[in-house]
Amino acid sequence: MTERVLTGITTTGTPHLGNYVGAIRPAIAASREAGVESFFFLADYHALIKCDDPARIERSRIEIAASWLAAGLDPERVTFYRQSDIPETTELTWLLTCVTAKGQMNRAHAYKASVDANEAAGEEPDAGITMGLFSYPILMAADILLFNAHRVPVGRDQVQHIEMARDVAQRFNHVFGAGKDLFVLPQAEIEETVATLPGLDGRKMSKSYDNTVPLFQGGPKALKDAVARIVTDSRLPGEPKDPEGAHLVTIHDAFANDAQRASFHADLRAGLAWGEAKQRVVDLIEAHVGPMREKYEHLMAHPEQIEEILLLGARKARAVATPFLAELRNAVGLRKMVAVAAPKAQAAQASKAAVPVFKQYREADGQFYFKLTTADGGVLLQSQAFAEGREAGTWVKRFKQEGVQALAGAPVALAAGVAQADVEAALAALLAAQE
């Protein structure tokens, strides 16, 4: 069976070199493996949670789509789409919301971090926190479960969200599956082999630290300028340098083959100047990224081509999502009205089966008795003893013909704990069932 691999990219920023090495490149490589079916999407609904600047949302969607396509994502091979083109995602979000415990959402790291920040600042705990942020993990669960993804490659910070998706899936399966698993339980996949790329200052490359090297934006000049700002130690040209722990080297190695790596390390130990080393890093990255940048720039100049690719992706995605959502709607009871005919017939059957019964019998004492029981055997009415079976039979016959009316003066007693009204209802049901 082919494995479904799915991941979303929140469309708030412009991809940098760290995104390329840490996410784009390994994801595209994985999508080329045999036996996997990949779903990649622009998580633009998630972007709305973090960003209320429409121009930035618009631009980031284009830049990210262009970056992935330029980096070699093959839209024929993978399903590449925008989250917001799949209305089934928001529909499923609601179905999942209705089985998600609020307490579990209270424990989501992203939400808790915002609450902690508010409390540290002396604010109300929920100050500035939208329902979008609070429900973020449910939207993400819908992204994943809608396509029954087996594996979800994510950063470490997203692992809790995948666990929440599993929990919600399990609960939904339990409540609505009727013994069948509607959802596959997804597995988070963290790329252990992919190093997080350090930024200019050696901390993780991240927009929030403002220490990034652009991937395509700004052309070769922006790349060169950024690399020039990478912090190194102050060893002079000719002085031996330690390649271990120099983040310029880590960045270099992320693009180098074994031979290039070995010679770069050896040259640094032999005293290569940092300035020259940086030029080699620029050349190496440019050799890798330059051809992609051409494609990127072409796409940026022709967003209508990206639009077309994404709409095609949405069509592929919806070919999976639409029938599946119909199944889910049916599972929760949102069904075509004609279907209620069946439950009604069942109810009639059920009430027939639930009709109370009279039983005649003889005890060890040799006397004859009868009793009225519910369909499942609970005693409602107990007769006194009769010397002749015939007498018992006559009473039973009367009850069956007259129902409640036969009760007055009959040689019977209510069973312990049974109310007169229950017996009357049972006799009425018995009468009705004979009609």
Binds ligand TRP by CB under 6 A, chosen from 4, 5, 7, 216 = 7
Q: Torsion angle of alpha carbons 253, 256, 258, 264, nearest 10°?
A: -70
**7 or 38: CB nearest ligand TRP:** 7
The reply to whether 46 sits near ligand TRP by the rule CB under 6 A is yes
* H helix runs in 302-419, sequence order: 303-332, 341-353, 389-402
| Residues touching ligand TRP, count (CB under 6 A) | 12
The reply to whether 10 sits near ligand TRP by the rule CB under 6 A is yes
Structure tokens of 363?
Answer: 């005890």
Task: Give the whole-angstrom CA distance, residue 180 versus residue 24.
Answer: 36
The reply to whether 152 sits near ligand TRP by the rule CB under 6 A is yes
**8 or 18: CB nearest ligand TRP:** 8
Could you tell me the smallest distance in angstroms from the CB atom of residue 295 to ligand TRP? 24
374 to 255, 268, 359: CA distances (angstroms):
79, 91, 11
H/E segment holding residue 283: helix 274-301
Could you tell me the smallest distance in angstroms from the CB atom of residue 7 to ligand TRP? 4
Could you tell me the smallest distance in angstroms from the CB atom of residue 301 to ligand TRP? 28
Q: Tell me 406's DSSP state.
A: G
Interface map 274-303 toward ligand TRP (x if CB under 6 A): ------------------------------
**75 or 153: CB nearest ligand TRP:** 153
Interface map 121-150 toward ligand TRP (x if CB under 6 A): -------------------x--xx------
Burial of residue 13 (number of CB atoms within 10 Å: 0-12, 13-18, 19+)? buried
Burial of residue 52 (number of CB atoms within 10 Å: 0-12, 13-18, 19+)? exposed
The reply to whether 158 sits near ligand TRP by the rule CB under 6 A is yes
The reply to whether 43 sits near ligand TRP by the rule CB under 6 A is yes
The reply to whether 93 sits near ligand TRP by the rule CB under 6 A is no
CB count within 10 Å of CB 237 equals 12
Determine the residue with CB nearest ligand TRP.
Answer: 8
Q: Are strands 368-373 and 357-362 parallel, antiparallel or unpaired?
A: antiparallel
> Which residues of this chain interact with ligand TRP, rule CB under 6 A?
6-8, 10, 43, 46, 140, 143-144, 152, 154, 158
